[in-house]
Structure 1
Amino acid sequence: MNIFLKNDFTPTLDSLHNLLDKTTDKEVFLELEKNIKQLSKFEQHYSMLSKAIDASIIIGITDQRGCIVYVNEKFCEISKYSRSELLGQNHRIVNSGYHEKDFFKEMWRTIAHGEVWEGEVKNRAKDGSNYWVKTTILPILDDRGKPSLYISLRTDITEGKVAQEKLVEALNNSAQEEIKFMAYHDSLTNLPNKRMFNEDMTKLITHSSQVGQDFAVVFLDLDRFKQINDSLGHTIGDMLIQEVAIRLKERIGSRGRIYRFAGDEFILVFPGCTKDGMEEVSEELLSVFEEVFVLANSYQIFTTPSIGISIFPEHGQDFDTLLKNADTAMFVAKSNGRNTYQVYEAWMNEHHREALTIEQHLRQAIEKNEFEIYFQPKMDFSSERIKSMETLLRWKNPILGNVQPDKFIPIAEETGLIIKIDEWVLEQARRQNKEWNDARLTDPLRIAVNISALHFRLPNFVSLVEDTLKKTGLAPELLEIEITESSFIDNIDECINSLTKLRNMGVFVAIDDFGIGYSSLNYLRKFPISSLKIDRSFIQEIAENQEEIAIVRAMIYLSHELNLRVVAEGTETKEVIELLRELGCNEVQGYYVSRPVPKQEFEKIVRRINGD
């Protein structure tokens, strides 16, 4: 073939056929025939390849200014423009506006330097629809090495990108919903939170005002929750909150809405509910807590609620006032012994202010030496002598005057100040008894100190008792720790462990106010205790009530079967004293023997009764 091709000659099938027709040289004829076959085969392959490329690749060519000089059919098909509409137009004719300006600046910077650019571009078709193309732009350089043309090769990736966009949108929507849920719900219980309450109340107040309908706001606070947190840990406390939320939702259902504010505070709203209707609802709420809460398969916890109620519009016409008044009523319920409910009344505001004032002064009472210990003797029936006593705390504040224990003790327990107070009483009582016994006031006296359930359940309580005994030098057998049944209701095994350590030290332990708490005979037989104190509520009417006599007789019999001494509280008449003696009671404590008295008077009473 080289004999036919010159530098300015490009063979085609037509030119080769013309040469073939004119030649008479057999050798040249055969050579031409061979080249014709090869070229024909090449053009067939080229045609097939060109069609394949044109069918799958979107091709566009622009000049150095970005004007379109060539597009293939695929380009027209995806852009929905005809070739005549595209040629001569700037490439921005398909710009969707999706990409930032910096995106195209970087693309042009790359190709203007003769470099290949690759990326994904979102374009807009003639009908306004968008499509995505994966794009490669190849600069064609002139003799000076400058781009003269730009060939863009694109493949359609719209389906995948749309799916991706939908996925991202779905994820974003899901994330937004999650964020919104978190903003309006409590993370521990998934109950609506205070923010949701405020928004819901605004709508409810508007609606209720328009239709003339009442609704109730209920402030529910768990009793002694701080004690549970401090003694068993926040993990158990959180579990309890979750279980309370579950029970409330199951019991209330669609009749009302439950919100968790913080800690152990729940708010319940009952649309359409009047003051009269709240009595039944409140009793139902109290019943939610009658059954023990079993947590982590081992902790059995009894807890009760204090409930305060306000009614719209009688007790407030905005949610701040309604909530404040429900809170005030709840505080009164807590002050009245807990595990009860109160509907707001105007006088409660003063009661609440008084409680806050008491708390403020209570926090400084020890440092200002405002507490004093009184002593109430216990008389032993077998010897008719005083062999032990109970310490009782009294508080005289220079501003508030004499503050009764039933006012400040509940506040001390709720705020946790009771621990510091217990420690002070414990040390003062031991020091005083050591002084009396060293001075041989009478027979060795055992002194009893009331310890709060919160304090008893702390891990370091037994160590505190041991350290105080060492510091004061009081013999362990002359100390008695009085604890209520509520001290045992959470973690029986830990309580038994602490009681065992106290007994091994020689310290006596008494169960105070027996019969009014969560008594369990099964647990009682396991406790290493020394005595039971029958609550005064069983003693006060024992002389006139045969049922009370039967109950007290059973308590005394049970105690003796368990090798426990029995102390009867609240004994005020000779008739009651003699009846208790007949029933087999071991000791009595009450006004008949003596009221709680200061140190000097107690010394006189002991000398008078013991004859020393």
Structure 2
Amino acid sequence: MDFERDYYCLMPSMQFILDERGSILDVNHFGAKSLGYTQDELIGASILKTVYEMDRSYVEQQMNKVFNECAHVIHQISYRKQKKDGSIIWVQEYLRCIHQEDGQQILLISCQDISKQKQTEQLLLGQKKILEMIARRKEINEILNELIITIEQINPMTIGSILVLDKKENRLYHAASPHLPSEYIQATNGIQIGEKAGSCGTAAYRKEIVIVSDIEHDPLWEDYKQIALAHGLRSCWAIPIFSSTEQVLGTFAIYHYNSVAPTKEDLEIIETFSSLAGLAIEQARMREKLEKNQQRYQSLFKYNHDGVFSLDLDGKFLSVNETAEKISGYSQTELAQLHFSKLVVHEDVKVAEDLFEQAKRGTSQHARIRIYNKQRNLLYLNVTTVPIIVNGLVTGVFGIAKNITESIEAEQKIKYMAYYDSLTGVANRRLFQERVQETIDKAKMKKQLFAILYIDFDRFKYINDSLGHSAGDLLLKKAARRLRRCVYTNDTVARMGGDEFIILLPNISTKKDAIETAKQILCSFQKPIVVHGHELFLTPSIGISFYPDDGEDAEILIKHADLAMLEAKQRGKNGYFVYCDHQLQQMRTNMQLLNDLQKAIQQKELFLLYQPIVQLPSKRIAAVEVLVRWHHPSLGAIPPSTFIPLAEESGLIVQLGEWVLKEACRQAKQWQKEGLTPIRVCVNISARELQDRKYAKRVEMILQEANLEAKWLELEITERMMVYNEPTITRNLNLLKQLGVRIAVDDFGTGCSSLSYLKQLDIDTLKIDRSFIQECPHSYYEKAIVDSVLSLVQHLNMNVIAEGIEDEKQFDYLAKNGCSEGQGYFFSPPLSAEQLKQMLQNMNEPRHV
């Protein structure tokens, strides 16, 4: 017996054990939770506590019957339970009486929630009954009342209401509201449709469903909430009732005594019954017109916006309206010779025949059916069939066919957009991944090789920023077309985003085939692409991965092709690289190095060096360039050329840059406190830092924290950063200038900046790149460039620093030609803070090197 109890209590359904009085001896956790109770709340209570009050008598009668009949016989009943929150569910219950050794009887109950099944059954039965009433020409009030009663039976916690629209007055009148309070009906009868006209008036006005979950606080009910709240109505969901021509006939509404929102199932039921109401109202009005004047019926038949037709019991057309002729492409005479199935697409014939047979049996149904018209165009129709009943006998089938081809094609377009890139028309990431997976499945079976090519265009961002997004979009379209011309039709070209594309080559014999395709792509992009009159050159960097050598699932293969593409970029761009494990190892090494760098910032493994910048020709120290260095605890000194690019790629440069700036400002102030004459500290900053909208504010806070005047800080940007012309970067630079911070352009002459940016950004200092100083004054070209820069800054009244001065000749030449300041090993290598302090103290009067 204990085993049986344990077994019952552990099953994944609602399990109860009752004594002869119907008290709950035990209930499993699943059962209590399903009803919203704890086990302690139910044990000891009557089972009738969980039964919907209208079903309690029936349940009590059935339990007595089970106790009085033979033990161990399993009985089955269905009824409604009420959960703790008041909601109602249908259950199917199995009962079994057990005689215990002490002579007592207990009842083992196992029940499952069949609400959805019951709701579906009730819905189908309700639909059938309503359609039969429509077909049998029952009075419209009787049909609408039956419709409301049906939905209230499906969900006893609701109150239904149908209002019909008087088009002349634009008012709604109650047509079926059997359980709404009479005072409420009287107060809302003849409500004017419009905004803030409650749920129903607003739904009819907007021609869309209106959900009000809280009548008391929703502005739509401002003028009517008092009467609703007075009768306990707390929520109302309303949907317009449409005719077959999309005209508003009225509204279908559901009220609740609680503030609740509809579920997906509720919405489906509302839409279904509003359609039935629309069909009933429209059929009733059509019947009224038919009874008044047969000619008016013929007019309606003729001018209906939907195709209307009738069939004999053999399925041949008897009559069709003009719309049906237009839809089918056939005349009425031609259709009279055809069976309806001759128009239907082969795959849909069975559905159409079932629709026809149901109507012959007296049941109205609807379905989506595809047909070919006379011109062999594929059309999608929503077809509703209704039995034609004369003297109680079905004599034929009446049908309404709505042409929904345009909406279906719109849906297909949406599906297309889900799988194809809207800009270029090639596949998108989603479709590409699915095709890779399909190719993997085939390749596993046939043990085949295939390749993935990951492509990034090297100069696209520069072109896009320079010529604008419209030019960039057109460039991408033409690049995509050029890529497609480089591959076969069964290969897949996809856009991964931005200027990144990816290609699947599913049918290659050797790896050489994929490499030849990559070479062909590189060759094709040697020719310019003309956009808005500009000849533009794009250089692809291509990464290649192979199945199965480089991975056996889609994500890994794409990732490895991407890594190979990055390697191609690092090797000089405009080329291809085949993925190899060594590359992955290098990536892992870099990732570990990045982790270590983050720890190094926190654990003070980094330190700063300071290289003097001197005035020319006096050699007095005017400033220092701040240089960050890293001594790894196990790897030793890590060159900046190794860890700075990693920091920039990962975004860690922001955290690193902030640490350098804080430390440099602190040290500059410390030298001043020790009595040394103030000098500028020059700190390099990255584009990533300037792209932060709050960067200038952070610099201001760092200066305040160090108590350092802004004029002693000079921030160095690269020449390339000026041409980004990003609003955020420009705004930050302007704010920094307003603070009094000096701005210098580093490596001047190596980029492609416009002279207008120098004026626009109010640059204080230009630093001539060391590559021009190395050959001065011997090289004619380098000398000409340096002379031009010196002349430029003199006219612009700017400071200029020559980097990389290594010997006396360079020093003399620059000093004589008006160079303001110089930097290089000729004066001093980078020094520690203490070494620089000693130099400044030893040479404080005059301060020079």
Shorter chain as normaliser: what TM range?
0.5 to 0.7
Matches within 5 A, 1:395-544: 395-441=630-676, 443-491=677-725, 495-544=729-778
Query: Any idea what SS the aligned residue of 1:572 has?
Result: coil
What is the CA-CA distance between 1:500 and the residue it aligns to?
Answer: 3.4
2:601 to 336, 354, 366: 366
Tell me, in whole angstroms, the C-alpha distance in 1 between the residues paired with 2:310 and 2:494. 60
Tell me, in whole angstroms, the C-alpha distance in 2 between the residues paired with 1:560 and 1:481. 21
Tell me, in whole angstroms, the C-alpha distance in 2 between the residues paired with 1:541 and 1:412. 32
Query: Any idea what SS the aligned residue of 1:525 has?
Result: helix
Q: Is 1:219 the counterpart of 2:455 in the alignment?
A: yes
The verdict on how the C-alpha distance between 1:512 and 1:132 changes in structure 2, with shifts beyond 3 A counting, is: closer
The residue identity in structure 2 corresponding to 1:509 is: I
Aligned to 2:815: 581
The verdict on how the C-alpha distance between 1:265 and 1:601 changes in structure 2, with shifts beyond 3 A counting, is: farther
What is the CA-CA distance between 1:391 and the residue it aligns to?
Answer: 1.0
Kept in 2: contact 1:241–1:264 (CA 8 A): no
Matches within 5 A, 1:72-83: none
Aligned to 2:378: none
Aligned to 1:98: 354
What is the CA-CA distance between 1:267 and the residue it aligns to?
Answer: 2.4
Tell me, in whole angstroms, the C-alpha distance in 2 between the residues paired with 1:360 and 1:459. 26
Flag the structure with larger Rg.
1
Tell me, in whole angstroms, the C-alpha distance in 2 between the residues paired with 1:304 and 1:572. 39
Alpha-carbon deviations, 1:141-178, whole Å to 9, x = none? xxxxxxxxx14465754xx52xx3xx446744653464
Matches within 5 A, 1:365-384: 365-384=600-619
Alpha-carbon deviations, 1:79-113, whole Å to 9, x = none? 999xxxxxxxxxxxx996524999899x57xxxxx
Aligned to 1:33: none
Matches within 5 A, 1:341-360: 341=575, 343-344=577-578, 346=580, 347-360=582-595
What is the CA-CA distance between 1:532 and the residue it aligns to?
Answer: 0.5
Q: Is 1:175 the counterpart of 2:411 in the alignment?
A: yes
What is the CA-CA distance between 1:388 and the residue it aligns to?
Answer: 0.2
Query: Any idea what SS the aligned residue of 1:98 has?
Result: helix
Which ranges in structure 2 are unaligned for 5 or more consecutive residues? 1-293, 299-307, 320-334, 340-349, 370-382
Kept in 2: contact 1:202–1:319 (CA 8 A): no
Tell me, in whole angstroms, the C-alpha distance in 2 between the residues paired with 1:122 and 1:286. 53
Aligned to 2:116: none
Tell me, in whole angstroms, the C-alpha distance in 1 between the residues paired with 2:654 and 2:818. 36
The verdict on how the C-alpha distance between 1:356 and 1:593 changes in structure 2, with shifts beyond 3 A counting, is: same
What is the CA-CA distance between 1:224 and the residue it aligns to?
Answer: 12
The residue identity in structure 1 corresponding to 2:494 is: Y
The verdict on how the C-alpha distance between 1:122 and 1:317 changes in structure 2, with shifts beyond 3 A counting, is: closer
Kept in 1: contact 2:360–2:397 (CA 8 A): no
Tell me, in whole angstroms, the C-alpha distance in 2 between the residues paired with 1:520 and 1:577. 28
The verdict on how the C-alpha distance between 1:280 and 1:152 changes in structure 2, with shifts beyond 3 A counting, is: closer
Question: Mean alpha-carbon deviation: is it higher for 383-392 or for 499-508?
Answer: 499-508
Q: Is 1:254 the counterpart of 2:485 in the alignment?
A: yes
What is the CA-CA distance between 1:372 and the residue it aligns to?
Answer: 1.5
Aligned to 2:243: none
Equivalences, count = 488
C-alpha RMSD of matched pairs (Å): 5.3
What is the CA-CA distance between 1:311 and the residue it aligns to?
Answer: 7.3
What is the CA-CA distance between 1:250 and the residue it aligns to?
Answer: 5.5
What is the CA-CA distance between 1:281 and the residue it aligns to?
Answer: 4.5
The verdict on how the C-alpha distance between 1:122 and 1:401 changes in structure 2, with shifts beyond 3 A counting, is: closer
Matches within 5 A, 1:60-459: 97-99=353-355, 134-137=386-389, 150-152=392-394, 156-157=398-399, 161=401, 164=402, 167-168=403-404, 171-172=407-408, 175-176=411-412, 178-179=414-415, 181-186=416-421, 190-198=425-433, 199=435, 217-220=453-456, 242=473, 245-246=476-477, 248-249=479-480, 252=483, 254-256=485-487, 258-262=493-497, 265-268=500-503, 275=515, 278=518, 281-282=521-522, 307-310=541-544, 323-335=558-570, 341=575, 343-344=577-578, 346=580, 347-441=582-676, 443-459=677-693
Tell me, in whole angstroms, the C-alpha distance in 1 between the residues paired with 2:368 and 2:564. 64
Kept in 2: contact 1:543–1:579 (CA 8 A): yes
* TM-score (structure 1 length as normaliser): 0.64
Alpha-carbon deviations, 1:231-282, whole Å to 9, x = none? x9xxx99989856633532654512564233566432568986757856854
Tell me, in whole angstroms, the C-alpha distance in 1 between the residues paired with 2:811 and 2:838. 22
Alpha-carbon deviations, 1:193-221, whole Å to 9, x = none? 334435269769999xx9x9997824327
The verdict on how the C-alpha distance between 1:290 and 1:355 changes in structure 2, with shifts beyond 3 A counting, is: farther
Tell me, in whole angstroms, the C-alpha distance in 2 between the residues paired with 1:488 and 1:466. 22
What is the CA-CA distance between 1:607 and the residue it aligns to?
Answer: 3.8
Tell me, in whole angstroms, the C-alpha distance in 2 between the residues paired with 1:539 and 1:153. 103
What is the CA-CA distance between 1:308 and the residue it aligns to?
Answer: 4.1
Question: Mean alpha-carbon deviation: is it higher for 512-521 or for 273-282?
Answer: 273-282
The verdict on how the C-alpha distance between 1:438 and 1:240 changes in structure 2, with shifts beyond 3 A counting, is: farther
Aligned to 1:115: none
The residue identity in structure 2 corresponding to 1:553 is: D
Which ranges in structure 1 are unaligned for 5 or more consecutive residues? 1-47, 62-67, 82-93, 109-117, 124-130, 141-149, 295-301
Aligned to 2:269: none
Tell me, in whole angstroms, the C-alpha distance in 2 between the residues paired with 1:408 and 1:573. 30
Query: Any idea what SS the aligned residue of 2:715 has?
Result: strand
The residue identity in structure 2 corresponding to 1:403 is: I
Question: Mean alpha-carbon deviation: is it higher for 493-502 or for 529-538?
Answer: 493-502
Question: Mean alpha-carbon deviation: is it higher for 430-439 or for 308-317?
Answer: 308-317
The verdict on how the C-alpha distance between 1:378 and 1:60 changes in structure 2, with shifts beyond 3 A counting, is: closer
Q: Choose between structure 1 and 2 for higher RCO, CA contacts under 8 A separated by at least 6 residues.
A: 1
% identical equivalent positions: 28
The verdict on how the C-alpha distance between 1:95 and 1:184 changes in structure 2, with shifts beyond 3 A counting, is: closer
What is the CA-CA distance between 1:597 and the residue it aligns to?
Answer: 2.6
What is the CA-CA distance between 1:385 and the residue it aligns to?
Answer: 1.0
Alpha-carbon deviations, 1:14-54, whole Å to 9, x = none? xxxxxxxxxxxxxxxxxxxxxxxxxxxxxxxxxx99xx9xx
Kept in 1: contact 2:772–2:786 (CA 8 A): yes
The verdict on how the C-alpha distance between 1:561 and 1:523 changes in structure 2, with shifts beyond 3 A counting, is: same
Tell me, in whole angstroms, the C-alpha distance in 1 between the residues paired with 2:513 and 2:523. 14
Kept in 2: contact 1:214–1:273 (CA 8 A): no
The residue identity in structure 2 corresponding to 1:219 is: I
What is the CA-CA distance between 1:592 and the residue it aligns to?
Answer: 2.1
What is the CA-CA distance between 1:192 and the residue it aligns to?
Answer: 1.7
What is the CA-CA distance between 1:432 and the residue it aligns to?
Answer: 0.8
Query: Any idea what SS the aligned residue of 1:366 has?
Result: helix
Tell me, in whole angstroms, the C-alpha distance in 1 between the residues paired with 2:596 and 2:310. 85
Tell me, in whole angstroms, the C-alpha distance in 2 between the residues paired with 1:152 and 1:244. 66
Tell me, in whole angstroms, the C-alpha distance in 2 between the residues paired with 1:79 and 1:592. 105
What is the CA-CA distance between 1:476 and the residue it aligns to?
Answer: 1.1
The verdict on how the C-alpha distance between 1:590 and 1:152 changes in structure 2, with shifts beyond 3 A counting, is: same
Tell me, in whole angstroms, the C-alpha distance in 2 between the residues paired with 1:543 and 1:60. 105
Tell me, in whole angstroms, the C-alpha distance in 2 between the residues paired with 1:590 and 1:122. 82
Aligned to 1:606: 840
Question: Mean alpha-carbon deviation: is it higher for 367-376 or for 302-311?
Answer: 302-311
Query: Any idea what SS the aligned residue of 2:714 has?
Result: strand
The residue identity in structure 1 corresponding to 2:750 is: I
Query: Any idea what SS the aligned residue of 1:541 has?
Result: coil
Aligned to 2:786: 552
